[in-house]
Chain A
């Protein structure tokens, strides 16, 4: 372990042909490439299924009483069902239904700038009363101990369990006293405001795109509902 490293500069002792050097690295890279693509093939479907399952669970969490979910895409002025894994560049949201197949609300994902990096969140929207009924942060890099209270603090998250979305949601610092107010986290005002701003933007975006309350797409038939 203590023998000094001998570097053979200029081929003083024993020089290796460049062909051998290139071959060594080439073979190592090739083997590594094969191994990695094999492991990618194995893990990719599991990772995708995990993500879809997580997303489905989060829709159930933000829309109380829901037990089935259907992914919808906004195309040519109306919402049409789309497969859970299907890729699309068009705006998508989730419709949530209860056991009896009655529509309970939308689960809408949106992202925007937080205090550190992007915050991706999903919120439950009840179109008839135009209220937010729940919110979960899906990914964020907010400061541990302060900004991460946007998902760790029950007090903050419960602000979003019954919140009027119109005219717009506002952040207050001295306690909620109106239906459209959110009480900011002490020491993490920017993170709190970011969450509210993301939801406000998303509500404004979907405002004229959602169908009239009562004419939402019907629940998927049993057996295909909520399955990818």
Chain B
């Protein structure tokens, strides 16, 4: 791996937001993505909790990368991740009990979000802390943005509101299916399709030019 230059840090920071977005491009962490994006508030809380866990554990794993023997690295990552998740869980319960109630078991399930373990194995364990931090912040932001896209559209269509504020007045008949589990699959499918089309569009002019 190359040295920690400002350009490198910037590249690691931005790649997660769009080019390697964990949900839209890597299609990782589908369980929370589908389960809790039925409202904007839930999406924000899940995004923030995942961001905190990802950044915290990436930094720690990167700092300890020379001390952790290869044979037990996955178990050690899981201990580190689980600790951060439990901290986030009790912090949410103490600070925003209403949101914690709504998210229920999905907070605890951040432990097994493959996005987080994936970043430890693929990046944080092989790179110095600054790069690992940049990578985690980028990936965490990308995850938040993706959850917000899904949560926003699903709440607008499925409940006719945004962050609980009614948008279309009392005569709007909500598409209940959008806030139910199948709506998550429909919306995710539509968004992935959109991304595939966008990427193809971007590629085509270059091919023509060459």
A residues adjacent to B (C-beta < 8 A):
1, 3, 5-8, 16, 20-21, 24-25, 28-29, 31-32, 35-36, 39-40, 42-43, 46-47, 50-51, 54, 139, 141, 143-146
CB pair B101–A139 under 8 Å, yes or no, is yes
* B180 close to A1 (CB less than 8 A): no
B87 and A36 contact, CB distance less than 8 A: yes
Interface of A is mostly: helix
From B70, B79, B97, contact of A25 by CB (8 A): B79
Q: A29 and B94: CB pair below 8 A?
A: no
Q: How many A-B residue pairs have CB under 8 A?
A: 72
B162 interface residue, CB < 8 Å from A? no
Question: Would you give 11 A-B contacts (Cβ < 8 Å), ordered by A?
Answer: A1-B122, A1-B123, A20-B69, A25-B76, A39-B91, A47-B94, A51-B97, A54-B97, A144-B179, A145-B179, A146-B176
Partner of A35, one of B71, B87, B121, B123: B87
B86: A residues at CB distance < 8 A: 36, 39
- Residue numbers in B under 8 Å from A51 (CB-CB): 97
Which DSSP category, helix, strand, loop or mixed, fits chain B's interface? helix
Closest CB in chain A relative to B16 CB, distance in Å: 12
On whether the beta carbons of A24 and B122 are closer than 8 Å, the reply is no
The answer to whether A3 touches B76 (Cβ under 8 A) is no
Within 8 A of A (CB), among B47-92: 67-72, 75-76, 79-80, 82-83, 86-87, 90-91
Decide: B69 and A144 in contact? CB cutoff 8 A.
Answer: no
| B158 on the A face (CB < 8 A) | yes
Closest to A20 in B: B69
Tell me the smallest distance from the CB of A215 to a CB of chain B, in Å: 37
Sort chain B's interface into a size bin: 20 to 34
B91 CB contacts on chain A under 8 angstroms = 39, 43
Rounded to whole angstroms, the CA-CA distance of A42 and B86 in the bound complex is 13
Contact with A along B176-198 (1 / 0, CB 8 A): 10011000000000000000000
- Greatest chain B CB density within 10 A among A7, A139, A141, A145 is at A145
Cβ contacts under 8 Å, A50 to chain B: 93-94, 97
Contacts of A25 in B (CB 8 A): 72, 75-76, 79
B21 interfacial contact with A, CB 8 Å: no
Task: Report the bound CA distance from A24 to B61 in whole Å.
Answer: 13
Which among A5, A28, A39, A143 is the interface contact of B90 at CB below 8 angstroms? Answer: A39
Chain A residues near B75: list those with CB within 8 A: 25
Known: A43-B90, A139-B101. 18 other contacts (CB 8 A): A1-B123, A1-B126, A8-B71, A20-B69, A24-B67, A24-B68, A24-B72, A28-B76, A28-B80, A31-B83, A32-B79, A32-B80, A35-B87, A46-B94, A47-B90, A50-B94, A144-B179, A145-B176
B148-206 with Cβ < 8 A to chain A:
158-159, 174, 176, 179-180
A25 to B69, CA, bound (A): 10
Q: Which residues of B contact A145 (CB under 8 A)?
A: 158-159, 174, 176, 179-180
* Smallest CB gap from A143: residue in B: B180
Instruction: Please pick, from A39, A47, A144, the residue contacting B180 in the complex, using a CB distance under 8 A.
Output: A144
Q: Which of A40, A43, A146 has the most CB of B within 10 A?
A: A43
A residues near B101, Cβ cutoff 8 Å: 139
Question: Does B120 touch A at the CB level, under 8 Å?
Answer: no
State whether the Cβ of B38 lies closer than 8 Å to any Cβ in chain A: yes
**Residue of B with least CB distance to A3:** B126
| B71 CB contacts on chain A under 8 angstroms | 8, 16, 21
Question: How far is it, in angstroms, between the C-alpha of A40 and the C-alpha of B87 when the chains are bound?
Answer: 8
Contact: A24 with B69, CB < 8 Å?
Answer: yes
